Amino acid sequence: MHIAIIMDGNGRWATRRGLPRTAGHAQGARAVRKTVEVAARAGIHTLTLYAFSSANWARPQSEVAGLMRLLRRYLFTETRRCVEQSIRINIIGRRDRLDASLLRSIEQSERLSAGGTRMHLRIAVDYSAQYSIVEAARRTRGCPELTSQAFHHLLHEVDHSALPAREVDLLIRTGGEKRLSDFLLWECAYAELHFADCLWPDFDEHQFQLALDDYASRQRRFGNLAAETL
């Protein structure tokens, strides 16, 4: 099972408590740790987290710098934990706009955790599904009989995906908003969508289980008829 999460609401969580937005992002990182542990225990094969979109570069420079520092710190502190739990880390998205120190941290975390087989943890940084699709389309020149599967592999190359990730089964978004925000548009073609009312720092095991229960109640037909009508 592939679960993707749009982790929305860190800034609002902090603002409501009279704290700087950076405090919300730090609390959000703690929610990431808990969610990764819960997902691994639940037997989830792939977990993709939306950490920083390409559109987020438009935020104040101080907030962007703080987010990048937080990501480096997360990789530094959590890589060993992931290795111990056999979780493979993979950062997807563009890398040409990340600074050299962050790139080194990414490459080190991916290298150290490459043997993980329990769960594939993908963290989307400087990610835009529209950019990925357009860039993959550029690489299809001279392929008149391109298949959907082959295009999916091109997306993996563009996104620096370490393993061929299956299409998303369940997409969760926190924060109360109900949109995809340029996240895994191709992979979410048949995903079930679950919108949690809580802000990301408040997302916990109970909220995760609610999303799984909601998913289990859905009837996935993929364009076919329901079983009882056949």
pLDDT digits (tens, 9 = 90+) for 133-175: 999 999 888 777 888 888 988 999 999 998 877 899 999 999 9
228 pLDDT more than 60:
no
Report residue 223's pLDDT band, with 50, 70 and 90 as the boundaries. low
Distance CA 26, CA 153 (A): 34
Mean pLDDT for 195-223 is 91
- Amino acid identity of residue 118, one-letter, is R
80 pLDDT more than 70:
yes
34 pLDDT more than 60:
yes
The set of residues, in sequence order, having a beta carbon less than 8 Å from that of 9 and lying 6+ positions away, is: 24, 174, 175, 176, 198, 199, 200, 201, 202
| 144 token code pair | 């008149």
Distance CA 208, CA 86 (A): 21
pLDDT of residue 144: 74
Domain 2-218 has CATH 3.40.640.10: no
Which of 221, 162, 212 is closest to 44 using CA atoms?
Answer: 212
Q: Catalytic site residues?
A: 8, 56
3-state secondary structure at position 115: coil
pLDDT of residue 165: 72
229 pLDDT more than 60:
no
Q: What pTM was computed for the model? A: 0.93
Distance CA 171, CA 194 (A): 6
225 pLDDT more than 80:
no
Number of H helices, E strands in the chain: 7, 6
pLDDT of residue 127: 98
The set of residues, in sequence order, having a beta carbon less than 8 Å from that of 93 and lying 6+ positions away, is: 52, 54, 124, 125, 126, 127, 128, 159, 160
